[in-house]
Structure 1
Amino acid sequence: MQTVLGSFLFFVLLRTGTSLECEVCDSMGTNCTGPMKTCEAGQDTCAIILTENSLAGESIQTVMKQCDYSSVCSSPTTYMNMGQGRHVRTSITCCVGDACKTTSPQIPPAMTPNSKRCPACYSFSVSGCDTVTTECAGEENYCLDMVQKITYGKFVLTVNMKGCATENVCETNEGEAVSGGIHTNIMKVSCTPALLAA
């Protein structure tokens, strides 16, 4: 009887499996450390999200590790180009278990021009921003118009961004997100096909 019961319990454990655990953290740079978190039902991978941002005039990399759904693993790198050297690139790398200890995400290099262009600007102004024309590159086939409200403690900023973007940026949903104490509310996202350069 004990053998049958033991076999039954073993079978139940095999069927239910163990919950996935991922390291959860965010930091400046390309790596961070944090506590292990048991993922929610359906979250079947650990995601490492690496972002390169030069909007403030200096290129800064940030990293975030979290539980996620494996559907994000096939997401291509996102590119946004707001002109005058301002860009944002984001790459997602997935891993499970011990592989996460050695996984090192990389930001792909800048792409070559694609003969398309968009109006571009970046401004901390509620009223919008003055645009210049910027050349698009690689898969940046869309002109992006995005407005975000960013709250960090008592500081509240409205950010207007226009420029070239890849299609996956245009699929960003309006809504709110919180990371590292920064509350971001995407108030507007719209895209139009990029124009061929004259």
Structure 2
Amino acid sequence: MGSSVAVLWLLAAVMGEDRVSSALSLDCIECNSTTSNNCMGSKKTCQPDQDQCIATYTESNIQNEKFKLFSKECGFLKDCDKTSRMTFNQTFYFKSSKCCNTNECKQDPITFPDKREKLSLTCSYCNEKADKCKSSEQLQCMGDETKCLTYVYTKMENNKNVTHSMAGCANENMCALKKAVSHHGDQGAITIKFECNRASSILSNLLLPAVSGLLFLKLLS
């Protein structure tokens, strides 16, 4: 009798925990769109450790291949309200997220910023079909881009692997990913290099040749 009561108590406790866990789980809308920065979908009950409904918008234009994706799903607080960006002149990658934490809540729309202030920081710029950048052209960074990023990937073109090298500006969140962004395209790509360094100021770029010239003249005198 005692053992039966114990079993019944254990079952009741487990069922009670399941009800509590279910009651505490968040319900989020789950959907995807490749045409707009919003979408509608069905409700999904999140895992107990997923405490946010997260909306993510990704837009890129890499080697003239444009890509857009807006998604809503269950997520984590650590991935909320972050914007990652890298810019190689007209080539760019942008990803931003917004969160809310009530059942079937709605996040504010996410848009790609059309206008950003120019910084007094520059990075070497290139966009070449090569294993390593050869160009020394300078690109003025914008917005919150304070890092210089080198991005190298290999893509299948005409049944051959072709390596592309790009260099430009990026923000801290982009560099903090610690992994390369997948190149979006019909045939995909394998990234082989993704690294960041501190951007240099325009003033230092202007002063360096002048200082070098003065030192050279001093050596000659």
Give the TM-score of the pair, scaled to structure 1.
0.71
Aligned to 1:45: 52
Match of 2:176 among 150, 171, 177: 171
Equivalent of residue 109 in structure 2, options 104, 112, 115: 104
- Do the aligned partners of residues 65 and 170 (structure 1) sit closer, same or farther apart at CA in structure 2, a change above 3 Å counting? same
| 1:17 partner SS | helix
Q: Which amino acid aligns with 1:53?
A: S
1:103/1:115 CA distance change after superposition, 3 Å: closer
Which one-letter code corresponds to 1:42 in the other structure? Answer: D
CA contact (8 A) 1:118 1:195 kept: yes
The answer on whether the counterparts of 1:26 and 1:32 sit within 8 Å (CA) in structure 2 is yes
**Equivalent of 2:131, from 127, 131, 135?**
127
- Per-residue CA deviation, residues 50-86 of structure 1 (Å, 9 max, x unaligned), is 12324355876432333321111142x2221102x22
Name the residue aligned to 2:19: 13
Secondary structure at 1:107 match in 2: coil
CA distance, structure 2, for counterparts of residue 30 and residue 60 of structure 1: 12
Over aligned residue pairs, what C-alpha RMSD do you find? 4.0
Match for residue 80 of structure 2 among 52, 57, 73: 73
| 1:82 corresponds to which of 85, 88, 104 | 88
| CA contact 1:147–1:189 (8 Å) conserved in 2 | yes
**Distance change >3 Å, CA 135–CA 70, structure 1 → 2:** same
Please say if residues 150 and 158 of structure 1, whose CA atoms lie closer than 8 Å, have aligned partners that are also in contact.
yes
Aligned residues: 191
Structure with the bigger percentage of strand:
1
Check whether the contact 1:29–1:60 (CA below 8 A) recurs between aligned residues.
Answer: no
Contact 1:50 1:91 in 2 (8 A): yes
**Cα 1:37–1:155 shift into 2, 3 Å:** farther
Post-superposition shift, 1:194?
0.6
Q: Kindly tell me: are residues 127 and 177 of structure 1, through their superposed partners in 2, closer, same or farther at Cα, counting changes over 3 Å?
A: closer
Which structure has the larger Rg over C-alpha atoms? 2
With over 3 angstroms needed to count, the CA separation of the structure-2 counterparts of 1:69 and 1:184, relative to structure 1, is farther
Aligned to 2:200: 195
Distance in 2 separating the partners of 1:170 and 1:34 = 32
Residues 10-19 or 114-123, more deviating:
10-19
Residues 148 and 184, structure 1, Cα contact 8 Å, conserved in 2: yes
Instruction: Report which of the two has the higher share of helix.
Output: 2
Q: Which runs of 5+ in 1 are unaligned?
A: none
| Structure 1 residue 115: Cα displacement | 0.9
Instruction: Tell me, yes or no, if the aligned pair for 2:43 and 2:104 is still in contact at 8 Å.
Output: no
Match of 1:27 in 2: 34
Residues 153-197 of structure 1, C-alpha deviations (whole Å, 9 max, x = no match): x89765432101111111122378799998664432211111111
Change (3 A) 1:34 1:148: farther
C-alpha distance in 1 between matches for 2:38 and 2:160 = 27
Q: TM-score by structure 2 length? A: 0.65
Per-residue deviation, 1:147: 2.2
